[in-house]
Structure 1
């Protein structure tokens, strides 16, 4: 059916499962009238229900940021330190094992592990053996834990130091017990933005290349976008387009792994370096802008990447819960400790108890369910229940 209003036509087509073009995505992002934005929200919420259902999921996990010593200087990062800086740290094997063991005791099914690019993190002057020992330290003690670790940036870092291919790095890590990779370090997949935001990081093409290699090798990844800083609506949509094409390639070629979820990461600038903070002009994310982009990401990516997650660390639990009505179907993980966003000035906290996540979901009159890292069922809860009911013996 042809509609007179072009925005209504875009949304009508989206509701029927038609892929948005980049121009249509940009048109939606530039809307500022409340009634139009509400139509976008309703379309995203409808697609969420169709593509992921009404049950909101979460994972019990622990974050381990094993070092903040880093040889790069991203303009938004308040986490990194030089080795001699006050506040620099590098966890030893005992500390890492202690954190993983504690996570198991607290019901975690996943360890999410990332760190700074520490040039001294070597064994016999090679990087890969150090990262393999990170994996083996956790997996040998707790083989049931899913290890979600090492961004494409870290894969490139290891490969460059050791003079080996990305395929060799990912294959070795997978063989050691790596279960999946976080799709962080993507920031905005536009090299003009990256030259300002993170000039020392991998370029867009290399990030995409490493993620595709992971999928070919059977290692699932997530996907992310760092939004709300110096990027334009056009650059936001082209970021989504690149993610969509990446996933369509995995589907077309029947790769054994794909992107499991999309996570929007709104920029937090409170403790960011002064030059970028002044350029952005605010310290905390704009909730309404984040929600609109959340909805459009669902519309643009939905049937290809059906799981969408807000960041309660960056938006706070209330803001993240609101995002569940704007296209999200997952509330993320308990984390147990989080440093990167918190050190940037994020107000959401460093840990979330299961009961807090469940109560937030139940406040929307939606059912909740614990999941594993790859969105398999771990248990189910009815609205208002205080405990998860086990699905399988």
Structure 2
């Protein structure tokens, strides 16, 4: 395609117009270095106008409370059957100990997700177990923000207990969950999902659960798992669904909406062999991830202002580079993270605040601590 098309699409975007899906696909398919450089520059300009120059980060801890899971997603190296020697399921005391450690290290957020463990019940109730998880943390640390339970986990609880999604979400919200991770989205395209995660919720269910959370006042994040079997058309279809979900929350005046978009490049190192063979490589291709993040900024930025790379997937240097491709946030300290690490990622599982700050400072950009909902915080001096 002649560069003029790319230039006119980018000029249009800089004037504040939304890209059409067809225009998004044109941008994602560029291979010409000059066109790609123009896309990066545009994404960076829009990042500046939509989110400012300050790069934010959050001090958080991940608690993946069990890796026992009834599903068999083709990309997942984290899940185990309950009789596997490497299966684990944290008890209440361990969850409390991890939370106590996180708070001692200055965390404002605990992110909690786990496998779909059919045994995780109290008195035959799945919801009762999840409420106890929440209460274990919130009774000890009422001030901590609990960012917990993906749409897939919501569907699992509702299905096991035979109740509505809205009832699950409202109960968790009332117990102290502050926001929902927009994970389990993978690619919001049912053809891709049939290959990647056939047992997972379908696209419509994911959108319904996240939309219900917004209606009930629970903010969510949004993600894409990219760089495996999906096409540029399917990537843009995913961004389009997120944009229209956010537009619905705004147009209907819902009390909550999507706070951020996170691109999660596929790490194939330890993935089950069939998918790894199909994808043909173990680590993400940085240039593909950067182009997608730039196009996501251009496509979503009018509706979702905060964009975050994954240093766990890309390494800190790759994530820092993404701050020049439309991202304005570098994510969290995590303190521990098993899902991506067990997939063979090279990024590590814990960064100190100083690591994040110096990566940002190297770009000549200011940095600031934020909370989960992107309110800026004055860091405590330790």
- Structure 1 length as normaliser, TM-score? 0.96
Give the drift of 1:278: 0.3
The equivalent of 1:273 in structure 2 is 272
Structure 1 CA distance, aligned partners of 2:61 and 2:3? 50
Can you list the C-alpha shifts for 1:130-175, whole angstroms capped at 9, x where unaligned?
Answer: 0000000000000000000000000000000000000000000000
1:343 to 2:346 alignment: no
Give the drift of 1:284: 0.2
Secondary structure at 1:260 match in 2:
strand
Deviates more, 1:233-242 or 1:371-380: 371-380
Secondary structure at 2:120 match in 1:
coil
Cα gap change, 1:172 to 1:4, in 2 (>3 Å): closer
1:211 to 2:210 alignment: yes
Structure 2 CA distance, aligned partners of 1:324 and 1:331? 8
Give the drift of 1:5: 1.1
Q: Contact 1:59–1:333 (CA<8 Å) still a contact in 2?
A: yes
Structure 1 CA distance, aligned partners of 2:352 and 2:3? 48
Equivalent residue runs for 1:223-372 within 5 Å: 223-372=222-371
Structure 1 CA distance, aligned partners of 2:99 and 2:177? 14
Equivalent residue runs for 1:67-82 within 5 Å: 67-82=66-81
What are structure 1's unaligned runs of at least 5 residues? 381-387
Structure 1 CA distance, aligned partners of 2:363 and 2:258? 27
Q: Contact 2:64–2:114 (CA<8 Å) still a contact in 1?
A: yes
- The count of residues paired between Structure 1 and Structure 2 equals 381
Give the drift of 1:338: 0.4
Can you list the C-alpha shifts for 1:323-353, whole angstroms capped at 9, x where unaligned?
Answer: 0000000000000000000000000000010
Give the drift of 1:258: 0.2
Q: Contact 2:18–2:302 (CA<8 Å) still a contact in 1?
A: no
Q: Contact 2:40–2:324 (CA<8 Å) still a contact in 1?
A: yes
Give the drift of 1:121: 0.1
Equivalent residue runs for 1:39-54 within 5 Å: 39-54=38-53
Q: Contact 1:379–1:389 (CA<8 Å) still a contact in 2?
A: no
Can you list the C-alpha shifts for 1:238-260, whole angstroms capped at 9, x where unaligned?
Answer: 00000000000000001000000
The equivalent of 1:32 in structure 2 is 31
Secondary structure at 1:247 match in 2:
helix
Structure 1 CA distance, aligned partners of 2:381 and 2:119? 46
Give the drift of 1:389: 7.2
Structure 1 CA distance, aligned partners of 2:137 and 2:295? 38
What are structure 2's unaligned runs of at least 5 residues? none
Give the drift of 1:6: 1.2
Q: Contact 2:3–2:35 (CA<8 Å) still a contact in 1?
A: no
Give the drift of 1:379: 2.0
The equivalent of 2:165 in structure 1 is 166
1:123 to 2:114 alignment: no
- Structure 2 length as normaliser, TM-score? 0.99
Give the drift of 1:4: 8.3
Can you list the C-alpha shifts for 1:301-338, whole angstroms capped at 9, x where unaligned?
Answer: 00100000000000000000000000000000000000
Structure 2 CA distance, aligned partners of 1:289 and 1:22? 18
Secondary structure at 2:341 match in 1:
helix
Structure 2 CA distance, aligned partners of 1:4 and 1:287? 23
Structure 2 CA distance, aligned partners of 1:344 and 1:129? 31
Give the drift of 1:86: 1.8
Secondary structure at 1:342 match in 2:
coil
The equivalent of 2:8 in structure 1 is 9
The equivalent of 1:384 in structure 2 is none
Q: Contact 2:62–2:335 (CA<8 Å) still a contact in 1?
A: yes
Structure 2 CA distance, aligned partners of 1:362 and 1:139? 34
